[in-house]
Amino acid sequence: MKKLLLGIISILSLTLLFSGCVDNTGAEQQEVLHAYVGAGMQMPMDEIAVEFEKKYGIKVEYDYSGSGALLSKIVASNQGDIFMPGDCSYVYQLEDKEMIKECSNVTKHIPVIAVQKGNPKNITGLSDLGQNGLELALGDDSISLGKLFKKILAKAETKGLNITKAVDTNTVVTGATVKQVLLYVTEKNVDAAVVWKADAYENPDRVDIVPIESEYNIVKTVPISILSTTENYENSKLFYDFVNNEGKEIFEKHGFVALE
């Protein structure tokens, strides 16, 4: 009787052990994609990840940062599935290294001036960023917006608006991501900042948006690319296509202008 009882207990113990192993293995086997994405796209991309996982059961893990920092991480690690920087120039650099399998443009990044709510300094356009006593926050040279704004100032100079030196004088702080630059305005540490329109759009209660005049402004296209380092091209292509289709509507909801 004792032997029979011990046998039953042994069988039950083994059954529980193996069932536990199956459950754990199943949990570990969820497919995951790793995407390097510019910090300015965090709001729509977080939502896209949720919808993508609902549809395909594939989890997307993001690395959000400035585009230059992400580029360095990709080259150093030689890993990852998706790269979505603030503009195409970063993709071109990886194409030169044969690290891009596929690329397309998704949406537009539009630079604007974000000012404190109520616009107490009465900023109406680019020329006002050179006024005496104004305190500005800008993106640093490691991010797409930082480099782009220098081109905007250079373009303005060719059209007779020479405010580069005054803007340099007024710049009291720079940020390594657009989110950080915007935070200086929302926290009232500066009077104004140059950010992407979509980032300012997400903070309507804390900032006002002042457009940069079209004659000076430069609009960037945002690409999505599949990295050659991907270990699962099929899943990466599913996500790539999802962003290019269902994802565009989500981008528009967050203040972006999607590309056809």
Distance CA 85, CA 143 (A): 9
**For all residues of the chain together, what is the average pLDDT?**
90
- What pLDDT was estimated at residue 257? 87
Task: Give the residue from 229, 257, 223 showing the smallest Cα distance to 37.
Answer: 223
At 84 the three-state DSSP class reads strand
Strand ranges (E), 59-205: 59-65, 82-84, 100-109, 111-116, 136-139, 171-175, 192-196
| Stronger pLDDT, 38 or 14, i.e. the higher one | 38
What pLDDT does residue 28 have? 57
**Alpha carbon 22 to chain centroid, angstroms:** 37
Name the pTM for this structure. 0.75
Structure tokens, 55: 């549809």
- Give the tens place of pLDDT for each residue, 112-164: 999 999 999 999 999 999 999 999 999 998 888 999 999 999 999 999 999 99
Sequence-distant (≥ 6) Cβ neighbours of residue 241 within 8 angstroms: none
User: How does DSSP classify residue 213?
Assistant: P
State mean pLDDT over 31-50.
Answer: 95
Q: Reply yes or no on whether the pLDDT at 15 is more than 50.
A: no
Can you point out the beta strands (E) in 77-215? 82-84, 100-109, 111-116, 136-139, 171-175, 192-196, 207-211
Angstrom distance (rounded) from CA 230 to CA 234: 9
Enumerate domains of the chain plus CATH numbers.
32-109+221-258 (3.40.190.10), 111-211 (3.40.190.10)
pLDDT in tens, 65-75: 989 999 999 99
The residues, ordered by sequence, that sit 6+ positions from 158 with a Cβ below 8 Å of its Cβ are none
Lay out the sheet containing 136-139: strands in order across.
171-175, 136-139, 192-196, 111-116, 207-211
Q: CA-CA distance, 117 to 100, in Å (whole number)? A: 42
Phi, psi angle pair for 8, to nearest 5°: -65, -45
